Structure 1
């Protein structure tokens, strides 16, 4: 785990722990001990405590009285909950973005989709692919221009990232076969405005990910 660049920065401590969780250095269910983290990150225990509170709000960490903080260990029920919330947010975000998008905005989404396709063809690793995937969705929320909607997205974004990373690692071929096609479909639907077909495309994009991940968790590839 990399040290924080300066002492006393709670958000930077949160960034370092988040990165370690995403990279698999701290596995699901692992204890997050303040003293050990403060030493590893070269920050105060207070900064670690505040950083863990940030991650708890993101849903990556759970704290229990007298037991401390642990990395979330998400099961099938968590998958359903996270993707149900995400589907509702994506439908609202794409619909609002369609109403407010300028031609240049849609071109940006196409460019991000092209970059994702090139990364897939080049054999990029899971974090690189997911970074481009999430950048596409982040941009949709930015185009929508609703600060409270974006705040709601950020409330589940880290959990979505972790679940999507698991999905790619367990089923790279399945992810590769659908993600670019689904993103291009969303861009095409956005060009037509806020329609029921757009809402359905956004919902299906999220639900296909949920179904794929649920299958993989139930029967992990060997």
Structure 2
């Protein structure tokens, strides 16, 4: 076996680049040049190259020999796959929450949803949206389910950034209300009603993104 490695510089560089993507500094399709990133962050190109590999495994960037590294632009197929997989994961989460969650769990979810009322801009709202779904999967109490969500979490974040890149009309006012309704559906312990509402919630963002791709 090779020696164990501590968290190193490449992980810190990956954190900074990921944060820049989530803040909107690098939009989908933006090129990420090793030499520029190493200069901005005052590190050698080695850690930057390794950081980009980390982000590629997360699905946030794509590397091609003829184009270099770019922030991932999600295709229609990407969106469809994310939607179907996220839906399958959320189904299990909803079923487990309704079967096992306590009143304290519902109160905690309400508090997380309530944070959205104070979002200052769309990027913060996206973060809070992801944070709410983090809480949903944590509340489900299923370790492997939480790990499966973690595997697509960054790509879902990127998808929501794509959504606000297409349209922000009514976004800041609508999203908090949608999440309050999700918590209420879970609290009602109506499995099918909650599943339908979670599906409708996902569909809103998919429809916004898909509408922009329909020739007019």
Aligned counterpart, 2:199:
203
Structure 2 CA distance, aligned partners of 1:137 and 1:68?
33
Structure 1 CA distance, aligned partners of 2:127 and 2:33?
29
RMSD: 2.6
Superposition deviation, residue 187 in structure 1: 1.0
Structure 1 CA distance, aligned partners of 2:33 and 2:94?
40
Aligned residues: 210
- 2:114·2:180 contact (CA, 8 Å) conserved in 1? no
Q: Would you say 1:212 and 2:208 are equivalent positions?
A: yes
Aligned counterpart, 2:35:
35
Aligned counterpart, 1:161:
157
Structure 1 CA distance, aligned partners of 2:85 and 2:170?
23
Structure 1 CA distance, aligned partners of 2:180 and 2:215?
30
Structure 1 CA distance, aligned partners of 2:19 and 2:45?
19
Q: Residues 7-156 of structure 1: matches in 2 within 5 Å?
A: 8-65=8-65, 68-119=68-119, 124-156=120-152
Residue 170 and residue 46 in structure 1: after superposition, are their counterparts in 2 closer, same or farther (change >3 A)? same
* Unmatched tracts of structure 1, length 5 or more: 1-6
- 1:99·1:194 contact (CA, 8 Å) conserved in 2? no
- 1:186·1:201 contact (CA, 8 Å) conserved in 2? yes
- 1:87·1:207 contact (CA, 8 Å) conserved in 2? no
Aligned counterpart, 1:4:
none
Q: CA offsets, 1:16-47, max 9 Å, x none? A: 11122223333333333333322322234332
Structure 2 CA distance, aligned partners of 1:190 and 1:106?
8
Superposition deviation, residue 140 in structure 1: 0.6
* Unmatched tracts of structure 2, length 5 or more: 1-6
Structure 2 CA distance, aligned partners of 1:80 and 1:179?
21
Residue 28 and residue 191 in structure 1: after superposition, are their counterparts in 2 closer, same or farther (change >3 A)? closer
Which segment is superposed worse, 37-46 or 132-141? 37-46
Superposition deviation, residue 177 in structure 1: 5.0
Structure 2 CA distance, aligned partners of 1:65 and 1:168?
30
TM (norm. structure 1) is: 0.81
Structure 2 CA distance, aligned partners of 1:161 and 1:21?
10
